[in-house]
Structure 1
Amino acid sequence: MTKTPDLIVVNANVFTGDAAGTTAEAFAVADGEFTAVGSSEEVVRLAGPETAVLDVDGKMLMPGICDVHIHLGLGGAAAAWELQIPPHYGPDEICEAIAAWAAELGPDEWIVGSLTMEKLANVDMLAKLDEAAGGRPVVLKDDTMHNRWVNSATLEAMGVMDDSPDPEGGTCVRDEAGRLTGVLWEQASRLAEEAFVASIKNPEERYRGTFATAAKLCNQYGLTTVCEAATMEPALRTLSKLDAEGALTLRVMASTVARPLLAEPGITGKELVSVSEQFGSELLHVGFVKVFLDGVPMTRTASMLDPYLPLGCDHGQSSGECLYDLDGLVEELEEAVSAGRGVKIHAAGDGSTRLALDAIAIMRQRHGSRPIFHIAHNLFIDESDVRRFSELGVVADASPYLWYPSIIQDSLASCVSAETLKKSWPLRDLVDSGATVAAGSDWPVALPVPHPWTGIETMVTREAPGGSEEAVNPAQRLTLEEALISFTRHAAEAMGLGERVGSIEVGKSADFIVLSQNLFGIDTRRIHETDVLATYLRGKRVYDANS
């Protein structure tokens, strides 16, 4: 017998996102689940005396956004605590912003922020940062989150001097005279982050503010389920506490980390997997292990099949390199699968993507189709490897925000050949081959907020938001429905949550959003203008644009 609904929504234009392509005008919700989907006339008959009726006046409704790749800790911290430097600022404006921020801080507080990587990459900024900060330590993260710019006070806190050896997998950049410049590549960034974390006086309060802010921002942009792409122990404890208090407004699939992170110190590997087993609920899941296979092309640390262009500093690596060999990667995957986890593999280059596929092929021979494997971020995939995603049942974890409006595309053009760049993000080929394409923001990489509508638009147009004369590999455009499915049902399935979320169907959690415009009734170059009017998680409103 159908339960009397707590809520019915009528007079809507419902994109259900289900596999059958069903459309509807209304649905009913009871005890946090969808109990009926159909016409307004059918659904309104189910109302009881206590049922709330929401008439949305023909507005478009769709499943809550499922973001398959996000960094809640980094994004929430940036929004809640850190200095945000506009991407167009030059060195002088950056220093002015730092000086103004420093004037509002206590004497022992660090200046932490983010900026566009090219602004300081080839500029001697160490002395300028020292002056602007007034003696306070400075840590500035680049837009890939893989590199840092620091000042002398931070280098001192790190214990790094001109003659200090570089950490494994990282570089403390030096000038021709061997003096530190304050630029940190890859794993050298971890030393700065460790020093900063050690300076925090009330970490529990900071973590709570960080993740509460992250959830609030996600809800504002329509996100109801996310796959946290690199989850450390403090994040798990904070999310669990918020959940226990009824204050978690987001469903989170966590990914513990296989090896030490650039951005956050703490336990990793088997120890973190063991600790993570105590966490789990309807809203907090721990189902993946994150493996970083390489760096990023912009610093020539992604593993490419062809050499990088002979411009700038290549750090002695003409094609980049992988952080694992095949045997080591298979061993890492075995460890995760033996713990009952799926694996999310960061592979920014076509060389690392091939290695990931080779390792997964071995895992499929051993374990069949059961384990879930993601490869992120699908920037570059050799044409011969595209079909292997479908053949091996690998999720293509796509990050369309990396095209625009960031300057990452220009950075890529300075590193890889025009021919390689033309083939970037081959999403059409992946979809046509039968692969599952699941989309994620990678927030806060590239964008300051987890805005899915920018990603959806660029997947469809392959242009800058609002349209542009130049498109990025336009043959790889997806349809609007394909893009929406990549942000809903396919992302949910990729997280192993497809039976619970990702579409508006009877028996699934009542996670849905109300939009300001019907995406199917506008020029696709206006999708980025979409606002979320309301976000519902398990039938309860967690965001209202009017309040």
Structure 2
Amino acid sequence: MAEDIADLVVTGGPVHTADVGAWAEGFAVRDGTIVAVGAAREVESWCGPGTRRLDLAGRLAMPGLIDGHVHLGIGGTQLALELPLLPTDTPDEVLVKVRDWAGRLEPGEWIIGGILGSGTYAALNSPEMLRRLDEASLGHPLLLRDDTMHNRQVNSAALAAMGVDHDTPDPPGGTYARDAEGRLTGGLWELTGMEAEDAAKEAQRDPHGRLVTALRAAFQRMRQLGCTSFQDAATMAHQLAALRDIERAGDLTAWIVASLPATAFIEAGAVGEELFARAPAYRSEQIRPDFVKFVLDGVPTTRTTALLTPYRCCGEHDDPEHRGTPYWTLDELVTGLRRCAELGLGAKIHATGDASVRLALDAAEIVRRDPGSQPIVQIAHPSFIAPEDIPRFAELNVHADACPFMWHPSPLVDGIARHVPVETMERIWPFKDLLATGALIAGGSDWPVGLPELNPWLGIETMVTRSAPEEQDDPRRINPDQAISRERAVAAFTSASAKALGIDDLTGALRPGLSADFLVLDRNIFEVPATQIHNTTVEQTYFRGERVH
């Protein structure tokens, strides 16, 4: 019968289904959906005259990866349109690259780029470096992003375009960095960076066309890496419009879950209730504006993360009792989560410190007592969790959004360690303990935050090793007792992430009824030495049963 004939049958190699411990010899696909998974003989029975056959020739097949925390528009724009900087670049190297880039631009065009490593960003924050940046940028306004994506470095032309001078007061939630004498350094902390982004955007020609170009570049790179689903971590209306145009052109080769900012964050534009009201117009089968983004604190390198114990004193003017202050009160966050429940939306809560993580869990505990609809709740970036709060993730059905890849030695982790108390750093990213309680861990890159190059296979490898890639020749391990198995690490980027995103009825595993989103790899990542996983090449990527890479 025609309904028993598959469009595609895949056999000839090991198939990891992403259900922990589950393997198969092949699977069959019809109309973009998996219809059978199991022994080779079973799935081959679905073959008919028009069935395509994919012989794995011994290679591993597995589900497409899910990046549970990514900034597609920003990452794609950096990839396609902006000055590329490495977090290891010194200030002098940054100046050379800025001057070279400036020479390519039309008069008045902004220099926009990143990423600056935390150490470089700090070194640029002085009136003298501001003067040197002014010279290197050849009269162009300049905006550079740091590796946390919470801060910016601009030059004098950009400050002028923003309408900022030495007498401009700091706005709520942001800081214009100044030296000890009160002189502007060009550093923009937290929400003042959004003002620079807004000024740069106003100067752009065809911002919608730029964004479409950027998103296409992001998707192309993601297909090469094997990612077929994403949760965009802060999605504005203009990005939803660009995604819709790409989908209408038939070029959207991924499932997209959008996170709608509850308050101003990173980019200018409608947020909160105005954005919640506009977003449903962009909903489609593949575009799902299903989450609200809450930001409870900042990042450790600017000492805006909310901690239970005081920061380390790094300078003579540091407050020995400083712990950081959450941006939301408990009552405000409870109200926000209840609004999510009313709208049928989930919550992605940025909380990088153990104090802000506790605040998020406290709010979730209150809302979980409510009758009726319950929102999916994720806590994003929970690097630091008080030991007594670890069991609460599973108890409250709160998912850990593990991102970015900071569970191995890196310049960003070293920058954090300069500020965070030693005893707090020693329990960073407690994956093993979370899993032991039954909690769900979803993997995410936070691309382009802190990443010179996106590589989800590095994320999987370092969950297992807690070590830097061999090429870095760094013998350190970060909290190695919290290393987890390969299957659990893969699940964090497939089946577990699908559940955290609310799309486990669509994708995330190779199982009948789910979308045929799968990869063919150049190596079996479950058999090669763990230190080789980051070198994995995706030979083929399929989305809904069609090859897209």
TM-score (norm 2): 0.96
Equivalences for residues 224-373 of structure 1 within 5 A: 224-262=228-266, 264-312=267-315, 318-367=322-371, 370-373=374-377
Alignment of 1:515 onto 2:516: no
Aligned partners of 2:28 and 2:36 also within 8 Å:
yes
What is the CA-CA distance between 1:366 and the residue it aligns to? 1.2
Equivalences for residues 24-35 of structure 1 within 5 A: 24-35=24-35
Q: Aligned partners of 2:410 and 2:207: how far apart in 1?
A: 31
1:265-302: per-residue Cα shift (whole Å, max 9, x none)?
10000110110011222211111000001000111001
- Could you say if the C-alpha distance between residues 369 and 523 of structure 1 is closer, same or farther in structure 2, counting changes exceeding 3 Å? farther
What is the CA-CA distance between 1:88 and the residue it aligns to? 2.4
Alignment of 1:100 onto 2:100: yes
- Aligned-residue sequence identity (percent) comes to 45
Alignment of 1:380 onto 2:384: yes
Q: Aligned partners of 2:371 and 2:467: how far apart in 1?
A: 40
**AA aligned opposite 1:116:** G
Q: Aligned partners of 1:496 and 1:87: how far apart in 2?
A: 34
Aligned-partner SS, 2:158: helix
Q: Which runs of 5+ in 1 are unaligned?
A: none
Partner of 1:205: 209
What is the CA-CA distance between 1:104 and the residue it aligns to? 0.7
What is the CA-CA distance between 1:176 and the residue it aligns to? 1.7
Q: Aligned partners of 2:338 and 2:318: how far apart in 1?
A: 33
1:479 is aligned, of 466, 485, 490, to 485
1:443-481: per-residue Cα shift (whole Å, max 9, x none)?
111214431111001101111123742211111111000
- Could you say if the C-alpha distance between residues 368 and 429 of structure 1 is closer, same or farther in structure 2, counting changes exceeding 3 Å? farther
Q: Aligned partners of 2:121 and 2:279: how far apart in 1?
A: 38
Partner of 1:525: 531
Q: Which moved more, 1:193-202 or 1:329-338?
A: 329-338
Alignment RMSD: 1.5
Aligned partners of 2:230 and 2:255 also within 8 Å:
yes
1:392-411: per-residue Cα shift (whole Å, max 9, x none)?
00001101512346411111
Aligned partners of 1:300 and 1:314 also within 8 Å:
no
Q: Aligned partners of 2:371 and 2:273: how far apart in 1?
A: 20
- Could you say if the C-alpha distance between residues 234 and 405 of structure 1 is closer, same or farther in structure 2, counting changes exceeding 3 Å? farther
Partner of 1:502: 508
Q: Aligned partners of 1:33 and 1:351: how far apart in 2?
A: 44
Q: Aligned partners of 1:367 and 1:175: how far apart in 2?
A: 52
What is the CA-CA distance between 1:177 and the residue it aligns to? 1.7
Aligned-partner SS, 1:504: coil
Aligned partners of 2:32 and 2:516 also within 8 Å:
yes
- Could you say if the C-alpha distance between residues 231 and 17 of structure 1 is closer, same or farther in structure 2, counting changes exceeding 3 Å? same
What is the CA-CA distance between 1:45 and the residue it aligns to? 2.8
- Could you say if the C-alpha distance between residues 84 and 96 of structure 1 is closer, same or farther in structure 2, counting changes exceeding 3 Å? same
1:16-38: per-residue Cα shift (whole Å, max 9, x none)?
0125x321111111100011112
Q: Which moved more, 1:462-471 or 1:24-33?
A: 462-471
What is the CA-CA distance between 1:237 and the residue it aligns to? 0.6
Aligned partners of 1:221 and 1:451 also within 8 Å:
yes
Q: Aligned partners of 2:98 and 2:488: how far apart in 1?
A: 43
Q: Aligned partners of 1:42 and 1:372: how far apart in 2?
A: 37
Equivalences for residues 384-399 of structure 1 within 5 A: 384-399=388-403
What is the CA-CA distance between 1:316 and the residue it aligns to? 9.7
Aligned partners of 1:130 and 1:151 also within 8 Å:
yes
Partner of 1:37: 37
1:76-135: per-residue Cα shift (whole Å, max 9, x none)?
111011111122221111111001001111112100011212113134310011000001
What is the CA-CA distance between 1:373 and the residue it aligns to? 0.2
Aligned-partner SS, 2:196: helix
Aligned-partner SS, 2:281: coil
Aligned-partner SS, 2:548: strand
Aligned-partner SS, 1:25: strand
1:481-505: per-residue Cα shift (whole Å, max 9, x none)?
0000111001001111111111001
Q: Which runs of 5+ in 2 are unaligned?
A: none
What is the CA-CA distance between 1:412 and the residue it aligns to? 1.3
Q: Aligned partners of 1:111 and 1:239: how far apart in 2?
A: 25
TM-score (norm 1): 0.96
Alignment of 1:53 onto 2:42: no
